[in-house]
Structure 1
Amino acid sequence: MPYLGKIECPLCDREVDVSTNRSGMAYGRCAPCGFSWQLKSERGNRLLLAKVRRFEDPDAAPPAPKSAAPEPRESREIPEPQPTPAKPATAAKRGGSFGFWGSVNNG
């Protein structure tokens, strides 16, 4: 039962997988709408197979042609690190701890 490719469902126009049975006749089933078919005549089989978008096995496909190496573009990195700004002086810390709602406990 080799897989052939995809075709639109006659009822709902969604993609459906098409395969062939042992005798070479195409069949398929649309899961969303439940429509299924199996062709029994040579003429119908030829007409349907002409509409199938064939599946290309990635292992059997020829390798992609090698193109010229892309030219390097300008780097987005900053060439020299910028000096870090000085930290502002912090306010003197008050004694005590903060309570549940942010109030100061001097206890």
Structure 2
Amino acid sequence: MDGVIIRVAVADDVVDLRLVEPDDFRSFHVEAKEAQELARAGERLLDVDGGPDGPMACAVPITLIRELAGERAADPDWHTGLEQMISYAGSKGWLLERGTAVRAHVKIA
């Protein structure tokens, strides 16, 4: 298991965001095949930070995580896991946008 992943894909000018491994709260990141895909998802992913090899981190709104979880977000156990992940992120200084977004490492796969 790789943790909670938000996978970004762009096809035919449509940005697709998917939540992968939504029940594994031990890790969190955003991945895309190309850095340009992240730029296209900029309306949904906030503050994409660039590095010499492309984006290295971004802020993911907590509401987006819940939205991408779909029906799973209504599960009390899933909700507890998400809240624990958010609390841990806060303890590390990874909450952004006044606590409404989580800083995520970006992987270009």
State the TM-score, normalizing by the size of structure 1: 0.21
Q: Which has the higher contact order (CA 8 A, sep 6+)?
A: 2
- Computing the radius of gyration from Cα coordinates, the structure with the larger value is 1
Higher strand share: 2
